């Protein structure tokens, strides 16, 4: 049984191509539970897939042409094999990039008609882009009867985003959209790509995801600066990456630059918090995740300096309204927060944040309850 949101896409496919799709695939957005700016330091992250997802209906074509319609943009874009050049403009680059990445890796991918729709908020740090890539990849793998392991699929989707679209991201988003299991968070080691499915279910608690709707400003430059600081610190400390710092006090004593010291302290303590979060969740103590979320936020605010006033206000208000813990999630300078709240209170907590935003003159936030969901798959 397809849900209404999936039926909408199938109906748009029928209207657009006057035919039945050969199948329907979905791939979710994700939110990072804990582990921020640890990915490029070879460290640990722990996202979970959301219920919000891309639905994609498709059928093969006899030629090497891809036609793709987005219900969200209302646009249909068409490209052929000769146009598969990295740097392609437009949203269709996320789909073309997947075709390109598969072909670059030696897979035989024929043309297809595709229609997709998404309820992942676009550009809010919930990875609507990875959902798009992973839905397309899963569909093309099936339509072309390819055999590709799940982790390899995530790597190919990331290749599309990094090398074709041109966005320098880590593997977390595509790994989450591909590998997640319902009711679990995904512990992911960004160095060796080891994974562990960690249970994230407690009837008494839920995770509020609140989008501050803060416009991201200077994000690329700030991101590059944080990355450069981490690389510089690793070099000064004589380790391959900050993940390899085993004695934080000794490392801090070796650095005389206060800014570098604080950057290192965030990354090293954040890695430790991810490991602690895994332990807490595996012992079924979800409530004990709260203090780890709080500590992560303070570290991002004071040591890594990637939060902004709207985000800090949202986190503080969530705590005052009864959250057991709250933190910014995502790269920073805007985007979303998550808060661990008693089940049934997410709307009330979000309401309090909305009031605080109105009083401060900020734009109204949006929110939903994050439900740990399954990764990319075929649904029809």
C-beta closer to ligand ADP: residue 126 or 341: 126
List the single partner that 118 binds among ligand ADP, Mg ion, none, CB under 5 to 8 Å by kind: ligand ADP
Q: How open is the CA angle 44-48-53, to the nearest 5 degrees?
A: 135
Of 57, 128, 136, nearest in space to 98 by CA: 136
CB of 120 to ligand ADP, least distance (A): 7
C-beta closer to ligand ADP: residue 42 or 133: 133
Which positions from 118 through 147 interact with Mg ion, judged by CB under 5 A?
Answer: 127, 129
Whole-angstrom distance, CA of residue 65 vs CA of residue 81: 7
List the single partner that 70 binds among Mg ion, ligand ADP, none, CB under 5 to 8 Å by kind: ligand ADP
List, as one string, the DSSP characters of 137-194: HHHHHHHTT----HHHHHHHHHHIIIIII-----SHHHHHHHH--TTEEEEEETTT--
Told to check if 70 binds ligand ADP by CB under 6 A, we report: yes
Neighbours of 98 (CB within 10 A): 30
CB of 286 to ligand ADP, least distance (A): 26
DSSP 8-class letter at 121: P
CB of 161 to Mg ion, least distance (A): 7
Residue 173 annotated to the active site: yes
Q: How open is the CA angle 126-130-134, to the nearest 5 degrees?
A: 135
Using CB under 5 A as the binding criterion, the count of chain residues that bind Mg ion stands at 2
C-beta closer to ligand ADP: residue 112 or 116: 116
Which positions from 90 through 149 interact with ligand ADP, judged by CB under 6 A?
Answer: 91, 94, 116, 118, 122-129, 132
List the single partner that 91 binds among ligand ADP, Mg ion, none, CB under 5 to 8 Å by kind: ligand ADP
C-beta closer to Mg ion: residue 131 or 295: 131
Whole-angstrom distance, CA of residue 313 vs CA of residue 212: 10
Of 225, 231, 259, 223, nearest in space to 331 by CA: 223
- In the complex, the residues that contact ligand ADP under the rule CB under 6 A are 70, 72-73, 91, 94, 116, 118, 122-129, 132
Active-site residue numbers?
Answer: 173
């Amino acid at each position: 049984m397809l849900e209404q949101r999936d039926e909408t896409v199938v109906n748009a496919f029928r209207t657009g191509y006057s035919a039945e799709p050969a199948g329907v695939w979905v791939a979710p957005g994700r939110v990072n539970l804990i582990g921020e700016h640890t990915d490029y330091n070879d460290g640990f992250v722990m996202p979970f897939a959301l219920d919000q997802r891309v639905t994609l209906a498709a059928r093969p074509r006899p030629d090497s042409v891809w036609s793709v319609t987005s219900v969200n943009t209302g646009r249909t874009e068409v490209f052929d094999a000769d146009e598969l050049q990295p740097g392609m403009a437009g949203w269709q680059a996320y789909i073309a990039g997947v075709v390109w990445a598969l072909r670059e890796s030696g897979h035989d991918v024929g043309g297809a008609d595709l229609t997709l729709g998404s309820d992942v908020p676009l550009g809010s740090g919930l990875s609507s882009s990875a959902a798009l890539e992973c839905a397309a990849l899963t569909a093309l793998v099936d339509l072309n009867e390819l055999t590709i392991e799940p982790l390899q699929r995530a790597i190919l989707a990331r290749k599309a985003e990094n090398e074709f679209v041109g966005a320098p991201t880590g593997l977390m988003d595509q790994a989450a959209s591909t590998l997640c299991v319902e009711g679990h968070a995904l512990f992911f080691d960004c160095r060796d790509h080891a994974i562990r499915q960690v249970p994230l279910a407690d009837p008494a608690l839920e995770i509020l995801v609140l989008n501050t709707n803060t416009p991201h400003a200077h994000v690329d430059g700030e991101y590059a600066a944080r990355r450069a600081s981490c690389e510089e610190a690793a070099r000064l400390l004589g380790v391959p990456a900050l993940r390899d710092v085993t004695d934080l006090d000794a490392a801090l004593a070796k650095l005389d630059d206060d800014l570098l010291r604080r950057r290192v302290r965030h990354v090293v303590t954040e890695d430790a918090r991810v490991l602690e979060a895994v332990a807490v969740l595996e012992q079924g103590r979800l409530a004990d995740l709260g203090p780890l979320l709080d500590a992560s936020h303070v570290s991002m605010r004071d040591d890594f300096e990637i939060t902004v006033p709207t985000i800090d206000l949202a986190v503080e208000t969530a705590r005052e309204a009864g959250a057991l813990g709250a933190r910014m999630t995502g790269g920073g300078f805007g985007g979303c927060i998550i808060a661990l709240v008693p089940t049934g209170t997410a709307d009330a907590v979000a309401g309090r944040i909305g009031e605080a935003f109105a009083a401060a003159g900020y734009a109204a936030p949006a929110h939903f309850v994050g439900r740990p969901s399954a990764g990319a798959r075929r649904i029809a």
